[in-house]
Structure 1
Amino acid sequence: MEDPNYKVKSKSLNKNINFNYYVLLSIVFGGFLIFGLSENIKGPAIPKIQTDFSLSEAQLGFLLALNSLGYLLACSFTSALSNKIGIKWTGIIAFVSMAFAGVCMYFSHAYFFLSASYFLLYIGNGMLEIGLGIMAARIFTKNTGMMMNLSHFFYGLSSIVAPIFASSMMTWEAGSEELGWRGMYFIMLSVSLLPIIPSLLGKFPQEHAEKEEVISYYSLVRDPVAWLIVAILSFGIVSEVSVGNWLVNFLVKSYSWSLKDAAEMLSLFFLFFTLARLLFGPITDKIGYTLSIMIFSFFSGICSLSAVIVGEKGAILFAIAGVGIAPIYPTVMALLTKLYPKGTGTAITFTVTLMGIASVIGSFFIGFIIDSVGGGKNNILGLQVGYGMIGVLALICSICCIFLFVVLRKRNKVV
């Protein structure tokens, strides 16, 4: 005989599952919003920081490389930490560390202390991104490419407004002085505390997932496909991150743009970037992840190089390049979930950690190129060559996709 309370219990269970799903969505989407803010408020702040501390381009590149090193360190231990204490508390620690980094920046009056503050911020960023990546891979089992791009759309959404908010906030009056970049960082990073609320309410997939992972780090090291994916993500992300690091500086020094106008161009880049992730996600599911990355990265590289060659009249191409670079990261994450379905966490950690190494090298390398080519304080040629490298990296990303496509086709595993 059927239990009369069965349907009531079933409906209640479904409601609880749906509520928890929306809570998890709010953490993933909100986490990427915070991530976008923390990553891209530095664009307008960098020229001010460089002036305050009298930094050369190479010192600035070293500072950005230290940021990537903090990110890399976080990637190396976050997966193990989340296995021990769960994604919930790993995420909460990440949010708290980012907010605390804002406090440290507010009180930073020496280059060493500033570097340590940035280092702490990027440890939080790395912990957050790995946690969000693993969580999203387990939640989005259908239409993975579309949902991964939608999640990262929120990163782009906050990235659009971050440079404008940052440049405006630095001019706010705080008593008898301007708020400046220190106060801006303090306020903006305090927002990192907000996602802690849904984090405490949600039940995370990791708590109920099977712990066994078929894929090991040893097998990934021996897999040429894994290394090709690392190369694709590394070249693509160094190209993407470098825009946020150098575009404002490039426009201000090469074309004598105001800080406000340069920040608006960076925001326009992130507008195209965000719209691409919102609109092109379904396309990646239809034409395949490997082919999608190949096409988009090629487009981005051509736009960036064309912008440098054409000059100030072609500055809009810097922003349009965001259309191509945007889908690379989320589409690679979707690719990993399909190629390594029983070891996604391991594959993501392996790939993103090595990508972090490339980011450290890439940030320092571009700063070194800018400082080395031409020389002098008004090093326009160095800036042009350095920014041209950003476009070249995107083209190399596309070339790596060709090799990956060939290897996967031989294995009959084209995704």
Structure 2
Amino acid sequence: MQQLEEARLGKLGQSRNYYLLLGVVFGGYLIFGISENMKGPALPRMQDDFRLEEWQLGLLLAFNSIGFLLACSFAGGVIRRIGLRTALLLSFGFMAASGWLIGSAPGFALFAAAFFFLYLWNGLLEIALAVLSAKLFTRNTGFMMNLSHFFYGLSSTAAPLAATALMGWDPGGGALGWRGMYAVLLALCVLPMLPSLLSKFPREEGEPGQERVTWRGFAKDKIAWCVVVMLSCGVTAEMAAGGWLVNFLERAYGWDNARASWMLSSFFFCFMAARLVLGPLTDRFGFVRSVIAFAGFSGLCTCTGVLLGEPGAALLALAGAGIAPVYPTVMAFLARRYPVGTEAAITFTVTTIGILGVAGNFLIGAATDVFGFRAGYFMIGVNAFACAAAGGLLYRWLRREGRVI
């Protein structure tokens, strides 16, 4: 009887710990979505306050990718040395502090530095959450990865509306503006720290004799580089849409901030719903084939929406349904193909896409500055098509190996 009771308590403890870890992952992605997409409605206000040119705005957005790049270059080593728990706690804490730094920056230089600081820790959070998800979700990997990122889409849908409402909120001493909005919303980063403190984090396990993936070995794999190109194009399309859609609608079509923010929220609603509904299909249809189909659909919606002009604006929101499953599905692919040394595979991939992401964001800003807003936004659709094309090449190589995932 005592052994049965101990076994029952052990299962209860494992179940409790699993749900705590789910709280870390789901709560982490909720915070991640807020921190990434609160900037959309604020960008025109920032641009006006600091009197920025379009290329400077593109450079500011490139700081997202630069922060990710630097964070990813040391994220794997940091996680191995201090552990996932500490890495997550540091990320949440410093992201909350960055809200105050952004809100109090008096000039563009300090503001850009504070923005960089936010995305540096945002990058570490992204890697830590991806590694934790890969270790936690060993079954139905595609579905669970997409479900985790569904919470990113959920908060991304609400973030533009919450940012718009908070910027106009008057607590008694004048409207908060974009500065106060950043301080308030980023203070929410402290919430996922509680389940992080209470849970026991999983250790890496693999098959006996299975070789650990290293950066050097990964860099020699042509499959790895194809994944990098595929994901970098997909991430550029995803991030650029979140960053440029409000500005595009306001500047190109003369929409007011509230209407443009609603369209951005519609983009993220499609984004969120796709990860919830289409996630289970990725395990059945195959990870690579799913990426090809979804990215191609997103590129078609974006480019057609731009060509149609203002009547096609709804297609720009619908494009979110296609681009949404790309990132979590590629993470599921990496977890399945590289079960040992997953953090090395993820950090290498995200580091290299960070480099390409800097170039992608800057080119979109430069195209907007030289050729106009429509040409710049059209480049986002081109990136989605490039993601699908790289996926087609990857599928061909994997089929030759007989290892299609």
What range is the shorter-chain TM-score in? over 0.9
Q: Which residue of 2 aligns with 1:324?
A: 322
Farther off after superposition, 310-319 or 68-77 = 68-77
Question: Quick one: which amino acid aligns to residue 267 of structure 1?
Answer: S
Deviation digits for residues 319-373 of structure 1, max 9, x if unmatched? Answer: 0001100000000001111111222111111101111111111111111111122
1:106-121 matched pairs, under 5 angstroms = 106-121=103-118
In structure 2, what residue type is equivalent to 1:411? E
- The alignment-based identity, stated in percent, is 47
Contact 2:206 2:340 in 1 (8 A): no
SS in structure 2 at match of 1:141: coil
Aligned to 1:379: none
Corresponding residue of 1:386 = 376
Aligned to 2:287: 289
Q: Which residue of 1 aligns with 2:301?
A: 303
Corresponding residue for 2:90?
Answer: 93
Q: Once the two structures are superposed, what CA deviation does each residue of 1:232-271 show, in whole Å capped at 9, x if it has no partner?
A: 1000000000001100000001110000000000000000
**2:9 counterpart of 1:19:** no
SS of structure 2 residue aligned to 1:173: coil
Give 1:150's aligned residue: 147
Partner deviation per Cα, 1:8-43 (whole Å, 9 max, x = no partner): 000011000000000000000000000000000000
Match of 2:404 in 1: 414
Structure 1: any 5+ residue segments left out of the alignment? 374-381
Question: Following superposition of structure 1 onto structure 2, how do residues 112-261 of structure 1 map, counting pairs within 5 Å?
Answer: 112-206=109-203, 209=205, 214-261=212-259
Tell me how far 1:413 sits from its aligned partner.
0.4
- Partner residue, 1:61: 58
Q: Secondary structure at the match of 2:160?
A: helix
Residue 209 of structure 1 deviates from its aligned partner by 4.8
Separation (CA, whole Å) in 1 of partners of 2:309 and 2:370: 21
Read off the aligned partner of 2:152 and give its amino acid letter. Answer: Y
2:387 pairs with one of 377, 382, 397: 397
Of 150-159 and 109-118, the range deviating more from structure 2? 109-118
What is the Cα deviation at residue 213 of structure 1?
5.9
How far apart are the structure 2 equivalents of 1:204 and 1:247? 38
How do residues 268-287 of structure 1 correspond to structure 2 at under 5 angstroms? 268-287=266-285
Q: 1-side partners of 2:206 and 2:230: how far apart?
A: 29
Given residue 360 of structure 2, which amino acid in structure 1 is its aligned partner? G
**What letter matches 2:172 in structure 1?**
G
Question: RMSD of the TM alignment (CA)?
Answer: 1.2
Aligned partner of 1:259: which letter?
A: N
State the AA in 1 paired with 2:311: K
Correspondences of 1:2-17 after superposition (within 5 Å): 4-17=1-14
Which residue of 356, 362, 365 corresponds with 1:364?
Answer: 362
> Which of 161-170 and 357-366 deviates more?
357-366
Check 1:277–1:239 CA distance in 2 against 1; reply closer, same or farther (3 A cut).
Answer: same
Q: Structure 1 residue 275: deviation in Å?
A: 0.3
How far residue 174 of structure 1 moved from its aligned partner, in angstroms, is 3.7
The amino acid of 1:93's aligned partner reads: L
| Residue identity matched to 2:31 | I
Distance 1:326 1:354 in 2: 20
Return the alpha-carbon distance in structure 2 between the equivalents of residues 12 and 178 of structure 1.
Answer: 53
Quote the Cα distance in structure 2 between the aligned partners of 1:369 and 1:174. Answer: 40
Question: TM-score scaled by structure 2?
Answer: 0.98
Any runs of at least 4 consecutive aligned residues in structure 1 with deviations exceeding 2 A, and if so which?
208-213
**Alignment check: 8 A CA contact 2:306 2:374 kept:** yes
Q: TM-score of the superposition, structure 1-length normalised?
A: 0.95
Q: 1:210 to 1:298 in 2, by over 3 A?
A: closer
Deviation at 1:216, TM superposition (A): 1.4
Point out where structure 2 has 5 or more consecutive residues left out of the alignment.
none
User: What residue number does 1:37 align with?
Assistant: 34
**CA distance 1:254–1:220, shift in 2 (3 Å):** same
Distance across 2 between alignment mates of 1:137 and 1:251:
37
Cα distance in 1 between the residues matched to 2:197 and 2:206: 22
Give 1:72 deviation, angstroms: 1.1
Q: 1:376 corresponds to which residue?
A: none
Please report how far the alpha carbon of residue 210 of structure 1 lies from its aligned counterpart in structure 2 after TM superposition. Answer: 7.0
Query: Any idea what the Cα deviations from partners look like across 1:128-167, whole Å, max 9, x if unmatched?
Result: 1100100100111110000000000000000001001101
